[in-house]
Structure 1
Amino acid sequence: MRYQDQLFEQRESAILDTARRLFTEQPWDRVTIAEVATAAGIGKGTVYKHFPSKEALYARLVLDLNQINLHELRALQAASSAQDAMRTVIRRAFEQMLANPIETQLCLHCDRPEFQERLEAPFRQQFLDLECEYQRFFADLLSATLDNQTLSQADTQNLLWGVEACVSGVMTRIASGGFAHWAEPIALDDYFARVTDFIIAGLRAQAAALLAHPSRHE
């Protein structure tokens, strides 16, 4: 790699690290590019050479976080038994969100259609590619959970919708601060366990119905 390219990558990493730090010190949606530039010790125009908009900066943070998390979940799947993999992966995914509540908020923000529409085309494509990676990962997990019985791509997608709805609910709960404001607060660990049970029970029941009556879904 050329020296100039190395400097470019180092500077980009410094910008991202600075943004992450600032987001923990004040509301992330109020941090400006100028503040990121000042804290990183570079010019505002230099930041724009790396990220043409604040949305692009948000997108890079979220894409990087998801790639790191997905890599960990794949490794966890490989180290788990077929029957335990789904439960282990779901619980770890919830723990990943809890470990990065601010970036969980960013993930929810970046998933909004109006946000995606404002992104430059390369970033939109990266989000689509990431979604495909998660879908393939889910399909592998589901196959192992169902003792390698194979569902059609359409049926797998339908099951994924239910999982996505549950996971989005958990993300929203984490982003909002948990249950501390409830009259009888619920421990997040118990909440994660119950939601995980719900997801797995629902997947198995719905998959069994689909496998028993495939003609209904053609």
Structure 2
Amino acid sequence: MRYQEQQFEQRENAILAAARTLFREQPWDRVTIAEVAVAAGIGKGTVYKHFSSKEALYARLVVDLSRVNLDELRAVHAAHPPSEAMRQVIRRAFEQMLADPIQAQLGQYCDRPAFQERLDAPYRAQFQQLEHDYMLFFGQLLNDTLDQGELTAETCQHLLWGVEACVNGVMSRIAAGGFAHWAEPIALDDYFARVTDFIIAGLRAQAAALSVQPNRSE
């Protein structure tokens, strides 16, 4: 790598690190590019050479962490037998969100169609690739876990809808701060366990139903 490329990469990493720190210290949607520049020790104009807007910065943070998380989930899948892989992957996905609630909030923000429509084409392509990669992983996990034979892409997609709804609900709960404000607070570990049970039971039931009625829209 040439010296100029190394400098560019180092500045970009400094910007991302500064943004992550600031987002943990104050509401992330109020942090300005100027504040990120000061925290990174560079000029505001330099930040714009790397990220055309705050939304581009948000997108990069979400894409980067999503890729790291997916690699970890793949490792969890590979490390457990089929009978346990689905449960362990789901629980680890919840733990990833709990470890970084700010990232969960950013993930929800970046998942909005209106947000992605405003992004430059390269970022839109990255989100589309991420969706494809997660879908591929989910299909492999389903085929290894459910005793239904080889599932079709359509069946995997239908099952993913239910999982996505549950995972988004957990993400919203984590982003909201858990259950501490409830009259009888619920321990998040118990919550994760029950939701995981619900997802797995639903997947097994729906996979069986879809294998009998592959086209439920008819």
TM score, norm. by length of structure 1: 0.97
CA distance in 2, matches of 1:76, 1:154: 25
Give the residue type in structure 2 aligned to 1:138: F
Give the residue type in structure 2 aligned to 1:192: F
Corresponding residue for 1:153?
153
Alignment of 1:9-28 (within 5 A): 9-28=9-28
Corresponding residue for 2:62?
62
Q: Structure 1: any 5+ residue segments left out of the alignment?
A: none
- Percent identity (aligned): 73
Corresponding residue for 1:101?
101
Corresponding residue for 1:182?
182
CA distance in 2, matches of 1:215, 1:157: 12
Alignment of 1:100-179 (within 5 A): 100-147=100-147, 149-179=149-179
CA distance in 2, matches of 1:149, 1:210: 12
- SS of the equivalent of 1:149 reads coil
* Distance of aligned partners of 1:217 and 1:25 in 2 relative to their CA distance in 1, 3 Å threshold: same
Q: Number of residues paired by the alignment?
A: 218
- Provide, for residues 99-138 of structure 1, a one-character-per-residue CA deviation record: whole Å limited to 9, x for no partner: 0000110000101111111111100110000000000000
CA contact 1:179–1:185 (8 Å) conserved in 2: yes
Alpha carbon RMSD of aligned pairs, Å?
A: 1.2
Instruction: Give yes or no for the alignment of 1:90 onto 2:90.
Output: yes
Give the superposition deviation at 1:215: 6.6
TM score, norm. by length of structure 2: 0.97
- Provide, for residues 132-179 of structure 1, a one-character-per-residue CA deviation record: whole Å limited to 9, x for no partner: 000000000100111361122111101100000000000000000001
